[in-house]
C-alpha cells in the first residue's frame, strides 16, 4: 500500500564555511596525497619515509638544489599570476603555454639580432618589452573571437599553443638556426642573459613584484573590479555600464603579456637560448597552480614552490634510489587530484534525509 521512499541524501551548496574548517579539509587532502604517494613508493619496494626524505633534501637540502627548485618555481608562479585575471573573469585561457612561447620568440629576436649593438641593460629591457608585446598580441586573437562571435576560448587557446610551438621549431631549423643542420638556435650573447641575483636569474625578483602587482590589480584597481563583476555575472556588468568585450580583450592582453614576460625570463635567464619546448608544460601546470590557490597570488607562491619541490626532489630519486624521474609527474598528479577533490567537501555539504526540512527553513 505505502510505497513511501525518500531520497537517501542530497547535496546542498555550503553557505558559510569557517576558514578553519576549510583549511582543515585542505590539510587533510594534503596528508591523503602524501599517504597515497607513500603507498606507491611502498608498492615499488621503497621505504616511503626515505623517499620523502630524499625529495626534501634533494630539493632544499643544498644551496644548488634550492636554487634549481626556485628556478622551477619562478615561471610556474609567473604564469599562474598571469592566468588568474582570466580565470577570475571565467575566461578559460589554457593558452599560457603558447603565450609563453610567443614571448620567448619576441625576446629572442632582439637577443639574436641586437646583442652586439646595444648596451646590455637596454637590450634586456627591449627584449622584455618585445616578449610582453608578443605574448599579449598572441593572447588577443582568441579574445577578439570570443568577444565578437563567442568562439569557444578553451579550444581556441589550446590550438594556438601548438601553432606557436611549431613556429619555434621552424625558426630552430630555419632562419635562426646556428650551426647549419644543428636544428639549434645559438646561445645568447652574454649581454642578452638576465643577470643573477643570489645565484638565480633575476626573474625571481620580477615574479615577486608581479605577485604584488596582481594582488593590487585584482583587489584595488578599477580593472580588477570590472573583472570580478564580469566573472560573477556579465548581466550585472552590463547593468553597471561595463563593456564586457573590451574588458575581455584587455584582460587577455594583460594575461598574455605576463606569460610573454615569463617566456622572456625562461629564454634569457634559464635556457639562454630559444627552443620549442621553452614552455615545457609550465603553461598547463600553472593553470592548476592558479586554480588550487583560489586565484590568491600569495597562495600561488606556496603552491608553485610545493610543485617545484616535488618536481626537483622527485627528480633526484633517480640517482638516490633508482626510481625513474617521471615519478615526479605521478606524485604531482596525485597531489593535484587530491587538492581538486577536496574543494567539493568545502563547497558542498551532504544532507541526509533527516536534514531536509531544516534546510528548507534556513533557505
Partner 1 sequence: MNAVIALIFNAILNGTPLMYGTMGEILTEKSGNLNLGVEGLMYMGGALGLAGAFYYEKAAGAGVNGLLAMVIAIACAFLAGALGSLIFSVITISLRANQNVTGLALAIFGTGVGQFVGEYMRTMEGGYIAVSNELKNFFQNAPFPQTLQNIPVVGKLLFGHNIFVYLGVLLALAMGFFISRTRWGLNLRSVGESPATADAAGINIARYKYLATVMGGGISGIGGMVYIMTIAGCVWNHEGLAGVGWLAVALVIFCLWRPVNAIWGSVLFGALMILYLRVQLPIPSEIYKILPYVVTLVVLIFTSLRKKREDQPPESLGIAYFREER
Partner 2 sequence: MADNCAVELRKVSKAFGNVVANDNIDLKIYKGEILSLLGENGSGKTTLMNMLSGIYYPDSGEILVNGQQVTITSPRDAFEYGIGMIHQHFKLIDVLSAAENVVLGLEGPALLDLKAVSARMSEIARRYNFAMDPAKKVYDMSVSEKQTLEIIKVLYRGADILILDEPTAVLTPQETQRLFEILRSMKENGKAIVIITHKLHEVMELADRVCVLRKGCFVGERQVSEVTPQIMTDMMVGRQVTLNIDRPEPVEPEPRLRVRDLTVVNAEGITKLDRVNFTAMGGEILGIAGIAGSGQKELLETIAGLQPAAGGSILYTPKGQPPMELAGKHPMQIKAAGVAMAFVPEDRLGMGLVGGMGMTGNMMLRSWRQGKGAFVHRREPGALATQVKEDLEVVTPDIDYPVRRLSGGNVQKVLVGREIASAPSVLMTAYAVRGLDINTSYTIYHLLNQQKQKGVAVIFVGEDLDVLLELCDRILVLYDGKVSGIVEARTATKDQLGLMMTRLQEEGETDA
The one among 45, 241, 322, 354 contacting partner 2 by CB under 8 A = 241
For 158, 168, 212, the CA distances from 206, given in Å and listed in that order, are: 27, 25, 10
Find out whether 253 and 140 touch, Cβ atoms under 8 Å. Answer: yes
Find out whether 133 and 106 touch, Cβ atoms under 8 Å. Answer: yes
CA distance 276 to 270: 14
Answer positive or negative: Cα dihedral of 236, 238, 243, 244: positive
**Per-residue cell: 286:** 600553472
What is the number of other CB atoms lying within 10 angstroms of the CB of residue 171? 19
Contacts of 352 (CB under 8 A, 6+ apart): 8, 9
Would you say 236 or 277 has its CB closer to partner 2? Answer: 236
Q: Which among 73, 79, 55, 57 has a CA at the least distance from the CA of 305? A: 73
The one among 9, 35, 49, 170 contacting partner 1 by CB under 8 A = 170
The one among 67, 284, 299, 349 contacting partner 1 by CB under 8 A = 284
**Per-residue cell: 106:** 619576441
- Site mask, partner 1, residues 287-326, x = CB under 8 A? xx--xx-----------------------------x-xxx
In the region spanning residues 18 to 77, those forming contacts with partner 1, defined by CB under 8 A, are none
179 binds partner 2 (CB under 8 A): no
Q: Which does 357 bind (CB under 5 to 8 A by kind): partner 1, partner 2, none?
A: partner 2
**Per-residue cell: 63:** 644551496
Would you say 12 or 198 has its CB closer to partner 1? Answer: 12
Closest distance of CB 95 from partner 1, Å? 11
Q: Which does 156 bind (CB under 5 to 8 A by kind): partner 2, partner 1, none?
A: partner 1
The one among 23, 239, 344, 352 contacting partner 2 by CB under 8 A = 239
What is the number of other CB atoms lying within 10 angstroms of the CB of residue 68? 20
- Site mask, partner 1, residues 90-129, x = CB under 8 A? --x-x-----------------------------------
9-13 and 348-352 as β-strands: parallel, antiparallel, unpaired? antiparallel
For 8, 70, 204, 348, 349, the CA distances from 12, given in Å and listed in that order, are: 14, 41, 42, 6, 6
Closest distance of CB 238 from partner 2, Å? 6
Closest distance of CB 163 from partner 1, Å? 5
Q: If you write DSSP's letter for every residue of 275-295 in order, what string do you get?
A: -TTSSTTHHHHHHHHHHHTTT
Q: What angle do CA 107, 113, 114 make, to 5 degrees?
A: 85
358 binds partner 2 (CB under 8 A): no
Find out whether 316 and 296 touch, Cβ atoms under 8 Å. Answer: no
**Region binding partner 2 by CB under 8 A among candidate stretches 5-13, 59-67, 176-184, 291-299:** 5-13
225 binds partner 2 (CB under 8 A): yes
**Per-residue cell: 60:** 632544499
5 binds partner 2 (CB under 8 A): yes
The one among 156, 204, 217, 264 contacting partner 1 by CB under 8 A = 156
In the region spanning residues 8 to 47, those forming contacts with partner 2, defined by CB under 8 A, are 15-16
Binding residues for partner 1 (CB under 8 A): 10-13, 92, 94, 145, 149-152, 154-156, 158-163, 165-167, 169-170, 172-174, 281, 284-285, 287-288, 291-292, 322, 324-334, 336-337, 340-341, 343-344, 347-348
Positions that interact with partner 2 (CB under 8 A): 1-7, 15-16, 220-226, 228-229, 232-233, 235-236, 238-241, 357, 360-363
Amino acid at each position: 500500500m505505502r510505497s513511501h521512499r525518500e531520497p537517501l541524501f542530497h547535496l546542498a551548496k555550503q553557505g558559510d564555511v569557517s576558514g578553519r574548517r576549510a583549511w582543515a579539509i585542505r590539510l587533510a587532502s594534503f596528508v591523503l596525497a602524501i599517504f597515497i604517494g607513500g603507498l606507491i613508493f611502498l608498492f615499488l619496494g621503497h621505504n616511503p619515509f626515505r623517499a620523502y626524505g630524499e625529495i626534501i633534501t634533494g630539493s632544499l637540502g643544498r644551496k644548488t638544489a634550492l636554487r634549481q627548485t626556485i628556478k622551477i618555481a619562478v615561471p610556474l608562479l609567473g604564469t599562474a599570476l598571469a592566468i588568474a585575471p582570466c580565470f577570475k573573469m571565467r575566461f578559460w585561457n589554457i593558452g599560457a603555454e603558447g603565450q609563453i612561447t610567443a614571448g620567448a620568440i619576441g625576446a629572442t629576436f632582439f637577443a639574436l639580432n641586437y646583442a652586439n649593438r646595444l648596451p646590455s641593460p637596454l637590450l634586456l629591457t627591449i627584449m622584455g618589452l618585445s616578449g610582453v608585446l608578443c605574448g599579449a598580441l598572441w593572447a588577443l586573437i582568441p579574445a577578439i573571437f570570443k568577444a565578437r562571435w563567442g568562439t569557444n576560448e578553451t579550444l581556441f587557446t589550446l590550438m594556438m599553443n601548438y601553432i606557436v610551438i611549431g613556429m619555434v621549431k621552424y625558426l630552430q631549423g630555419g632562419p635562426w638556426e646556428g650551426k647549419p643542420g644543428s636544428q639549434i638556435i645559438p646561445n645568447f650573447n652574454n649581454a642578452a642573459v638576465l643577470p643573477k641575483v643570489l645565484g638565480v636569474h633575476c626573474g625571481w625578483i620580477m615574479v615577486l613584484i608581479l605577485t604584488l602587482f596582481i594582488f593590487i590589480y585584482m583587489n584595488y584597481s578599477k580593472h580588477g573590479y570590472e573583472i570580478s563583476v564580469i566573472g560573477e555575472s556579465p548581466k550585472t556588468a552590463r547593468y553597471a555600464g561595463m563593456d564586457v568585450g573590451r574588458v575581455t580583450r584587455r584582460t587577455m592582453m594583460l594575461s598574455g603579456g605576463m606569460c610573454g614576460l615569463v617566456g622572456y625570463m625562461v629564454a634569457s635567464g634559464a635556457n639562454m637560448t630559444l627552443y620549442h619546448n621553452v614552455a615545457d608544460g609550465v603553461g598547463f601546470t600553472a593553470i592548476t597552480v592558479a586554480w588550487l590557490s583560489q586565484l590568491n597570488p600569495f597562495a600561488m607562491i606556496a603552491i608553485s614552490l610545493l610543485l617545484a619541490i616535488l618536481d626537483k626532489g622527485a627528480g633526484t630519486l633517480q640517482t638516490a634510489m633508482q626510481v625513474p624521474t617521471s615519478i615526479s609527474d605521478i606524485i604531482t598528479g596525485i597531489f593535484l587530484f587530491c587538492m581538486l577533490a577536496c574543494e567539493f567537501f568545502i563547497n558542498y555539504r551532504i544532507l541526509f534525509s533527516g536534514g531536509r526540512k531544516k534546510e528548507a527553513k534556513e533557505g
